[in-house]
């Protein structure tokens, strides 16, 4: 009769009772052992060629918060079609939307899916909805109901129509699809022979207690032997998020190069975010879709900036002493006082240029969080980080700026090639866009740069050239780390965070 450790013997017995095959989850239940203890014993048995461990990848589907709401209330298009059926086969779009009590942001979604599913026809000229057919319960609705009842399901266990609808619901952001690894144990021939002969649990002591020592029984006790080469579960020690570490190192490197850090508020005055940068007050970029304006309080205080404000006003209206013609409109002091979430880190450069602590020559940088309404995709977020920099001094040229940009692309992002494209910004002339290439990654746009125009520098009291750049530091890290989706930078995906090397 073979002698094994307690947990190993219990697992072999469970395997025998299960016919030689058993999943890790079922083993936990059959042996009443913790999952970690089962895995340790399984690895030990595998090293003795008594069991095989089979792994299979699977996907598990579960509802997110929005999906739970739709599973409870129904999909927006279902609520809309039910309202239309109650009113009549045809009704105005507004009447149906009111009857369905849909939130404003769901109206367009509901109408789109209503048309896509062929449940109703939208007559745009008459603004009417006409019922086309009695809508059956679709696979998307069936899956939501199933998930509400069961909590989660494996994709492979679903019927074909439900499996095919999973990607659709995922794109609608109603479900989460999680990758899982299923493990199963199988008795080997050697393992079968062992369990047929009989398995005895060895009585081993893993710790010398005061009682064992005082009684003298330690002399007869069999001490548990530890195999230091035995495989163990991986341990994930705590570490700083890879992206935060990258930002910290970037800041240290810039300081080491003689740059001083610029700081400023997230809630910014329009004067610094736009006006001081020679951006006209009727510029399209000031529209609500490009900036977040503060609702309350709507305006800030400009009293301490009056001398600069007056210079900026004259520059906007007729060019002042800059040699330009200006924008030719009546400058609004009220508009300059509007409060917004900082949309570009260049606002910090404007603040630095009027600071009493400004040194000429001098080099300054900031790593600042900025905010812009945008469509979230692989390279865009509504909030992002910018590394902003200015160099102030005599005899600076575009060649100096291009050299700085190349160092960023090569030293910070690990790029192999760099190129520059002519661009336009209201506050720089000439203006260039930095684009870099990395082997195995491709080309990626990093951001804009240029030399501040006299219309920016002179009203702020600066009479020497100012080189300026604002680069997407998020994208710098993406290239360095080989990431193709910016959303990973702020992900709660522990598996990705654990796998990321400390670069």
| Distance of alpha carbon 323 from alpha carbon 459, whole angstroms | 12
Instruction: Reduce the DSSP state of residue 138 to 3 states and report it.
Output: coil
Q: Which two tokens stand for residue 179?
A: 């990758």
The low-confidence residues of the chain, meaning pLDDT below 50, are 1
Angle between helices 93-100 and 104-116 (to 10 degrees): 110
- Fold match between domain 66-136 and domain 244-266+342-499: no
281-to-31, 287, 331 alpha-carbon distances in Å: 72, 10, 7
Q: For the domain bounded by 66-136, which CATH number is listed?
A: 1.10.10.10
Q: How far is CA 294 from the centre of its chain?
A: 25
Measure CA of the first residue to CA of the last residue in the chain; give whole Å: 53
Report phi then psi at 260, rounded to 5. Answer: -110, 145
**What does the DSSP assignment read for 237-275?**
-----HHHHHHHHHHHHHHHTT-EE----SEEEHHHHTG
Provide the residue ranges of all domains of the chain, joining segments of one domain with +: 2-56+183-219, 66-136, 244-266+342-499
Q: Which fold has domain 244-266+342-499?
A: BirA Bifunctional Protein; domain 2 (3.30.930)
Number of alpha carbons in the 13 Å side-chain half-sphere of residue 440:
7
Residue 227's pLDDT is 65
Question: What's the whole-model pTM score?
Answer: 0.57
For residue 335, what pLDDT is reported? 93
What pLDDT, on a 0 to 100 scale, did the predictor assign at position 1? Answer: 46
Contact 20, 186 (CB under 8 A): yes
Q: How far apart are CA 141 and CA 148, in angstroms?
A: 11
pLDDT, tens only, 446-480? 888 999 999 999 999 999 999 998 888 888 788 77
Neighbours of 123 (CB within 10 A): 13
Model pLDDT, residue 200 = 66
What pLDDT does 325 receive? 92
- Tokens of residue 198, six digits: 């009989």
Which of the following CATH numbers is that of domain 2-56+183-219: 3.30.70.580, 2.40.420.20, 3.20.20.70, 1.10.10.10?
1.10.10.10
Burial bucket for residue 26 (CB in 10 Å: 0-12, 13-18, 19+): middle
Q: How does DSSP classify residue 284?
A: G
pLDDT for 224: 67
């Amino acid at each position: 009769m073979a002698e094994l450790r307690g947990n190993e013997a219990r697992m072999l017995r469970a395997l025998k009772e299960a016919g030689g095959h058993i999943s890790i989850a079922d083993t936990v239940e059959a042996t009443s052992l913790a999952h970690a203890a089962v895995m340790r014993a399984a690895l030990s048995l595998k090293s003795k060629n008594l069991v095989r461990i089979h792994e299979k990848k699977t996907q598990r589907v579960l509802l997110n918060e929005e999906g739970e709401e739709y599973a409870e209330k129904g999909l927006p298009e279902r609520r809309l079609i039910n309202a239309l059926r109650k009113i009549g086969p045809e009704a105005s779009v507004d009447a149906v939307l009111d009857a369905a009590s849909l939130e404003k942001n769901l109206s367009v979604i509901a109408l789109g899916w209503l048309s896509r599913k062929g449940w109703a026809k939208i007559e745009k000229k008459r603004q009417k909805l006409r019922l086309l057919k009695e809508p059956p319960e679709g696979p998307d609705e069936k899956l939501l109901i199933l998930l509400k009842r069961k909590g989660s399901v494996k994709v492979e266990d679903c019927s074909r129509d439900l499996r095919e609808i999973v990607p659709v619901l995922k794109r609608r952001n109603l479900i989460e699809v999680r990758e899982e690894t299923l493990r199963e144990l199988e008795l080997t021939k050697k393992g079968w022979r062992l369990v047929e002969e009989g398995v005895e649990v060895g009585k081993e002591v893993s710790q010398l207690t005061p009682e064992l020592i005082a009684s003298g029984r330690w002399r007869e006790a069999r001490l548990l032997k530890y195999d230091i080469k035995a495989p163990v579960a991986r341990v994930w020690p705590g570490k700083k998020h890879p992206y935060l570490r990258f930002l910290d190192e970037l800041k240290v490197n810039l300081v080491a190069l003689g740059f001083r850090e610029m700081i400023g508020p997230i809630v910014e005055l329009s004067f610094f975010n736009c006006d001081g940068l020679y951006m006209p007050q009727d510029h399209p970029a000031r529209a609500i879709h490009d900036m977040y304006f503060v609702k309350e309080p709507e305006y800030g205080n400009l009293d301490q900036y009056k001398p600069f404000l007056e210079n900026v006003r004259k520059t906007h209206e007729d060019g002042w002493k800059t040699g330009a013609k200006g924008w030719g409109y009546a400058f609004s002091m009220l508009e300059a006082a509007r409060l917004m979430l900082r949309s570009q880190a260049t606002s910090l450069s404007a603040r630095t240029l009027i600071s009493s602590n400004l040194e000429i020559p001098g080099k300054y940088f900031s790593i600042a969080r900025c905010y812009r309404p945008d469509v979230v995709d692989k390279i865009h977020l509504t909030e992002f980080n910018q590394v902003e920099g200015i160099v102030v001094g005599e005899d600076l040229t575009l060649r100096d700026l291009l050299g700085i940009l190349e160092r960023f692309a090569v030293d910070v992002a690990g790029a192999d090639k760099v190129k520059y494209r002519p661009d336009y910004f209201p506050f720089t002339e000439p203006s260039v866009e930095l684009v870099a290439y990395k082997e195995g990654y491709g080309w990626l746009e990093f951001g804009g740069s240029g030399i501040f125009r006299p219309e920016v520098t002179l009203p702020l009291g600066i009479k020497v050239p100012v080189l300026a750049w604002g680069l997407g530091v998020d994208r710098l890290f993406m290239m360095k780390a080989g990431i193709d989706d910016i959303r990973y930078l702020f992900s709660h995906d522990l598996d990705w965070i654990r796998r990321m090397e400390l670069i």
